[in-house]
C-alpha cells in the first residue's frame, strides 16, 4: 500500500505522489491520471496508455474539459 498526501497549492488541492507511486502507475511529471469511482468508495486509476482501448476517449475528455469554450463559439 502506498500512502498519498493531499496538500493545498493556491486555491486547489493536490495529491503528492512519491517516486514509488509514480513508478507503480508508470507516470511521469505532466502525465494525466484518470480516476473512476467504483461505487464502493474506491477508485480505479487509468493512465494515458489505457486510452488506446477507446480511440475516442481522448476526444471526449478534451471536449468535456473545454465544453464551456466550445459552447461560446
Provide CATH code, domain 5-72.
2.10.260
| pTM, entire model | 0.52
- pLDDT in the model for residue 14: 92
d(CA 26, CA 62): 22
Domain ranges of the chain: 5-72
3-state secondary structure of 53: helix
User: Is residue 51 over pLDDT 80?
Assistant: no
Percent helix / strand / coil, the chain, rounded to 5: 40, 25, 35
List CB contacts of 43: < 8 A, sequence separation 6 or more: 35, 36, 37
- pLDDT in the model for residue 53: 65
Amino acid at each position: 500500500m502506498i500512502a498519498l498526501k493531499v496538500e493545498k497549492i493556491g486555491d486547489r488541492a493536490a495529491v503528492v505522489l512519491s517516486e514509488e507511486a509514480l513508478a507503480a502507475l508508470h507516470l511521469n511529471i505532466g502525465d494525466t491520471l484518470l480516476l473512476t469511482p467504483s461505487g464502493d468508495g474506491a477508485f480505479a486509476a487509468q493512465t494515458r496508455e489505457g486510452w488506446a482501448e477507446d480511440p475516442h476517449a481522448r476526444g471526449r475528455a478534451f471536449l468535456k474539459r473545454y465544453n464551456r469554450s466550445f459552447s461560446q463559439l
